[in-house]
Amino acid sequence: MKAIVDCNNFYCSCERLFLPHLEKKPVVVLSNNDGCIISRSDEAKKLGVAMAGPYFQAKPLIEKHNVATFSSNYNLYGDLSWRVMETLRIMLGKENVEVYSVDECFLNLDGFPGNDMYETGLKIRETVECWTGIRVSVGIAPTKVLCKAANHLAKKNKEATQCVVVLDTSEKITDALKKTPVDDVWGVGRKYAVKLKYGWNVHTAFELSKLSPEFGHKFLGGVVGVRLIKELRGEPVLDMENELVNKKMIATTRMFGNPVGNIADIKEAVATYTSRAAEKLRRQYSAAKVVSVFVVTKEQDHLLNFNRHGTISSFTTLPAATSFTNELIKPAVELVDQLYDEGQLYKKAGVMLSGIVPDSSIQANLFAPETTNCGRKLMEMIDNINFSQRDDILKFAASGTTRDWKMRQELRSPRYTTRWEELFEVH
C-alpha cells in the first residue's frame, strides 16, 4: 500500500502555528509581490475568497470580514516543510518517502508495522501534527493516483474522516471514484477534463477508469494516459522515486516591487539572482556552462489582460563550465543589454543555469596566474559568511546596495525559525 501526506492549507497553517489566536479565523497568504492569493484557510474559502485571484480585487471582501492577510514567508514555509518531511523519514525511513512538493509527499507503507491501515494513517497524521504543529491529511490506497483521490476526500470532509481515508477494497475504491469529478483526478489537466466531459461524456473518475488503456494511449497523452487508467483500476504503475539530489537546471526569479524601466536596476536584479543561483550550484558541487536570462514586460492594462504578458529571453554558452559567481554575473549582465528596450517597463526578471556538470570534472588552467585558480576558496569563504550572517552580507558590487527594485512583502510575518533576531517570544 502507498500513502500521500498533504499539509492542509500549508502556508496558512504555517502562519497560524505561531499565531494561535488565528485558529478557526479566516486567513490568506499572498504570492510574490503581494499580487495574488495563493493559500486560503477553510474559513476564507467559505467567505468566497477566490484562489489565485488578484489581491486588489479580493481586498474589499477581505477587509469587510477582517481576514488575516500575510505576504509569502518562504524562509518559514521551507523550514517547516523540511520538518514535516524529516518527521516522515524518521517514522518510515528515508527510502520510503518521496517528496512530491513543498507540502506533499508519497509514502511506501509496505514495511510499516500494523495491519489496520486506517490506524496507520491516524498515527502518521497525529505524529506529524504533534512534532511539527502542521495539520495534514492522509490518503492510503494501492496506487499513487488512488492515494490522491483518497486524500481529496479526506480533505473535503475533515470531521467525518478525521483527515484519513483508506481505499483498501474494491468497494471503497469504486465508491471513491464515483465521488471524484474527473477534473480532480491527478494527471487530468484542464484541457483533457474539458475533452473528457464534453467530448466523451466522462464526468467522474469511475467513468474514466472504465475506459480502455488503448483509449488512454490515443487520447490522453500516450503512455501517460495508459498509466493513469491502470492506476485508477488499482494496478500500481507509478513507482516511488528517489529524491533528485543534483538538479539539471537551476533558476532564480522574482517579481520587482514596482515596474522597472531603468536598465541599471534590471542589471542589479539579474546580478543578484545570478549570485543566488551560483550559491545553489555550489551547494550541489556542480558547475554550469549555459547562462540564460529572461525579463517579463508589464501589462499595458492589468484589468483587461491580467494573465497576459511578454517574456523576452536570451542565453549564452560559456567557454568552460564554472561555479564562480563573478564568472557567471558578467555574461548574465551582458545579456540584459540585448533584452532591454528603452521606454519599456518590466515587472519580473530571472536567471537560469544549465549545462550542469560535476564541479570535480573541471580542470584548472595550467597557464593562468595562481590567484586565478584560487576562486573556489574565495567562493567557499563568501558562502560560509553569508550562510552564518544571512541577508547577503557579502555581495558583488554589481548586485547593488539599495535594491529599490526588490519584491514587496509588506505583510510578511517574522521568520520565526530561521533568524535569531526574529525568534518567537513567549511572555
pLDDT tens, the chain, 427 aa long: 999 999 999 999 999 999 999 999 999 999 888 889 999 999 999 999 999 889 999 999 999 999 999 999 988 999 999 999 999 999 999 899 999 999 999 999 987 776 789 999 999 999 999 999 999 999 999 999 999 999 999 998 898 999 999 999 999 999 999 999 999 999 898 899 999 999 899 999 999 999 999 999 998 889 999 999 999 999 998 887 766 567 889 999 888 888 888 899 999 999 999 999 999 999 888 999 999 999 998 864 444 344 445 678 899 999 989 999 999 999 999 999 999 988 888 988 999 999 999 887 776 666 666 555 567 788 888 888 888 776 778 888 888 877 777 777 888 999 998 888 888 888 7
- Best CATH choice for the domain 1-167 from the list 1.10.287.70, 3.40.80.10, 3.30.70.270, 2.60.40.10: 3.30.70.270
**SS3 of the chain: helix, strand, coil, percent, to 5:** 45, 20, 35
Q: What is the rounded CA–CA span in Å between residue 413 and residue 30? A: 12
Q: What is the pTM of this model?
A: 0.81
Q: How many CA atoms lie within 13 A of 394 on its CB side?
A: 15
Q: What residue spans in the chain does CATH classification 3.30.70.270 cover?
A: 1-167
Which residue, 119, 205, 214, is CA-closest to 162? 119
Indicate the burial class of 58 (C-beta count within 10 angstroms; 0-12, 13-18, 19 or more).
buried
What architecture is the 169-243 domain classified under in CATH? Answer: Orthogonal Bundle (1.10)
Q: How many CB atoms lie within 10 A of CB 342?
A: 6
Q: What residue spans in the chain does CATH classification 3.30.1490.100 cover?
A: 250-399
Top-level CATH class of 250-399?
A: alpha beta
Which residue, 392, 409, 410, is CA-closest to 401? 392
The answer to whether 372 and 333 have CB atoms below 8 angstroms apart is: no
Q: How many CA atoms lie within 13 A of 218 on its CB side?
A: 6
CA dihedral of residues 213, 216, 217, 218 (deg, nearest 10): 120
